[in-house]
Amino acid sequence: MNLTRGRFISLEGGEGVGKSTQLKALAAALERHGLGVVVTREPGGSAGAEAIRTLLLEGEPGFWGPRAEALLFAAARSDHVDKVIKPALERGEWVLCDRFHDSSRAYQGGGSGLSDADILTLHRIGSEGFVPDLTIVLTLDEAEARARAKSRDGGAGDRFEQRDDGFHAKVAAAFRSFAAAEPDRIKLVDASGAPQAVTERLLALLAPLLP
């Protein structure tokens, strides 16, 4: 039995910053290092949370009010933490998660106006306030991010991606303020340039956590 708990890393940022590409590259690098790695995502990552993801991301903008939406994200996260994240960490595996609770703080908080205290209360109830060992926020110029997201999905987007520039600017500002408030856990990383160069920047941050 592996008695060393794995590490829990979340990757955050707005749409089109390259999170999925980077998660794949990071997982491959950690596996080459001999680590077991689980790559997962939010909303989703467990059967129950994927069902909630469908409820959240389909449908017209405004179908859910911000409070109902925040509760659904917290419920999905609760299932994901219990069924997937904590068991993997207890097996000694590393968990790389595409978004986690800082997305709720940035989107339902910064973007939609709920208070950070309320979001954190929902997280305490749903997931006992469980937080990543390290959170990396990929940052990218808004125009470049939009172009990347558009080339990925032809501009269709889910109902979050369809929100206006003002919303996305508030989300980006929220992520920056979280990083300023919790500099040990949350690191901002420039996502511009070649994907391999971005991966190198991320691996430099993971290096101190390696066994």
Write out the residues near ligand TMP by the rule CB under 6 A: 15, 42-43, 73, 98-99, 103-104, 107-108, 158, 160-161
CB of 199 to ligand TMP, least distance (A): 18
Among 136, 145, 140, which residue's Cα sits nearest to residue 202?
136
Q: By the 8 A CB rule, do 107 and 175 touch?
A: no
Given the complex with ligand TMP, which of 173 and 204 has the nearer CB atom?
173
One-character DSSP codes across 39-104: EEESS-SSHHHHHHHHHHHSS-TTSS-HHHHHHHHHHHHHHHIIIIIHHHHHTT-EEEEES-HHHH
Smallest separation (angstroms) from ligand TMP to the CB of 32:
26
**At residue 41, what are phi and psi to the nearest 5 degrees?**
-150, 160
7 vs 99 by CB, closer to ligand TMP: 99
Distance CA 130, CA 4 (A): 18
Nearer to ligand TMP, 40 or 108 (CB): 108
Q: Provide, rounded to whole angstroms, the least separation between the CB of residue 166 and ligand TMP.
A: 15
Q: Whole-angstrom Cα distance, residue 82 to residue 88?
A: 10
- Maximum Cα–Cα distance across the chain: 50
> Nearest distance from residue 207's CB to ligand TMP, in Å?
26
CA 117, CA 123: separation in Å to the nearest integer?
10
Q: At its nearest, how many Å lie between ligand TMP and the CB of residue 193?
A: 21
Q: Which residue is nearest to ligand TMP (CB)?
A: 160
Shortest reach from residue 120's CB to ligand TMP, in Å: 12
